[in-house]
Chains A and B, each alone.
Chain A
């Protein structure tokens, strides 16, 4: 790497997505149509930043994470990770990229091979991603302690561990690749409630102590606010609003964000949305999304808060 590109990568954001689009083809026999999953997505994530991607099922949030993980090929647009375009990566470059960008999946029951002990699972990851390490044993002990487990778990099989422990092992395996970016797709939604917060705290610690950039994909606004610095709200394949987490959820501008915030169960609140407010918001969402002149409008510069709207809605 020349010094010039090194400088460029040092300054570039961890993830930079520009005008990304992706559609799926549904191919039933009589009815062939394309379903857009992502429409013209722009998103930048700075190094060491945690960004949450929130939206309902079908909003396209997993598709975006999967595009970043090279599990889907976008139709249009570009994705730069640490300044490097990921389209057309081949062979060794793909392997290198996969060390750099790792994914934590929703289901820790399905993502660990049940026939191997934890030590084998971690050893494989180390052998693939960090073959230069000689003392694998001590490195594995270090990894499990980083994720808050004792070294005894190394000799366990996945089925002997609880859901929370398994998800921590999945995260330890991710760390074995020494990634700079982690894509966490609903990492806590299948875990028992009392251990969820522990996994979120662990992700937070990885950012604080290792400077890892995290894209946190979730439908749970409260956990997005808890973990992330910034939230991007996805609706029908578009990022409709984005900004610093606390500020965004305190002052949602887009009707879709307002609808989501109003639907979160909250025992403290007495003015929860009623049916008529909801239907008003729904009408607004439909009107906003069919506009042909959607533009980003800055709400609060300091908090990077903007909303995607037609000019006429912003007066």
Chain B
């Protein structure tokens, strides 16, 4: 077994106010190995972005990490001071945020923004930074001449590809993608995912992939964790999760995406108002398949529509 790039152990994040504390993430544990694509899926508010922001140490008040550990290459991320964090971020782990295409500076040429990132973290001359920027743009199949363009001169899909290329600029060991294609049309989405795969083949980084779209997640990820109410309710390799999911919430999520082929069957999704409370710790079901025990009935699906 290869050494994990990232180990998250029993991570608990609370959003604290005067009256009460809400758990954004509750005893979440998972590991990501070198070159692996690990997916975190769940609905809005389930805590998947909270996890991503905790790993990057980007949480702000009132959020607090109250318990747990985050290890990157065995090094304790939660113990790093500001200087160490600055050296670690982007060099070792980079993040692409939801609608990141709007995070480019509108009054600066694309090339300058690349140079800025590369020289801030690695130093070197402007010319070498520019050369690296050209390589990266070629990798995401955008004409390097576009380095002279301003962000508004590019389409949404192109901007998103540039942000992803920028995240890869320093050869990070881990790339965190938080809903990288949510605002884009399906054809553009497909192109971007393909380029993420190409970049990964070339540069060999691991990916933490966050989305609510199960069909996308199953297509891209090697292993998947399903989150609900701050907890992981099921964790498995994607093939197993796809064909043999055990937790009713996972099944509801899978059932929310009708297939594009085969006979039409009625799907049921999750009934309004169904809630899982007090989610228990995961139990081992073999082959890397972990499921939180629940007494909710397993959903029946498959009657003709």
Contact = CB atoms under 8 A, between A and B. Distances in A.
Nearest to B212: A193
B186 A223 contact: no
Contacts of A264: 186, 215, 260
A260 B44 contact: no
Contacts of A149: 272
Interface in A155-191: 162, 164-165, 168
B270 interface: yes
B190 A222 contact: no
A266 B219 contact: yes
Interface in A187-229: 192-198, 201, 204, 219, 221-223, 225-226
Nearest to A161: B272
A267 B243 CA distance: 11
A222 B194 CA distance: 21
Nearest to B270: A194
Given A193-B214, A194-B43, A275-B194, A222 B272 contact: no
Contact of A265 (B190, B253, B255, B270): B190
Interface in B164-200: 185-187, 189-191, 193-194
B259 interface: yes
A226 B212 contact: no
Contacts of B258: 197, 222-223, 225-226
B252 interface: yes
Contacts of B249: 194
Given A192-B43, A193-B213, A226-B267, A268 B272 contact: no
Interface in B252-298: 252-253, 255-261, 264, 266-272
Given A165-B272, A196-B256, A222-B258, A278 B266 contact: no
A313 B105 CA distance: 45
A263 B257 contact: no
B148 interface: no
A233 B194 CA distance: 25
A259 interface: yes
B83 interface: no
Contacts of A261: 260
A221 B187 CA distance: 12
B267 A193 contact: no
Given A192-B43, A204-B305, A263 B187 contact: yes
A77 interface: no
A260 B186 contact: yes
A225 B44 CA distance: 25
A17 to B, nearest CB: 25
B272 A162 contact: yes
B215 A265 contact: yes
B242 interface: yes
Contacts of A195: 256, 269-270, 272
Contacts of B305: 204, 226
Residue in A192, A226, A250, A267 with the greatest tally of chain B CB atoms within 10 Å: A267
Contact of A267 (B194, B212, B242, B270): B242
Interface of A: 56-57, 148-149, 162, 164-165, 168, 192-198, 201, 204, 219, 221-223, 225-226, 246, 249-250, 259-268, 272-275, 278
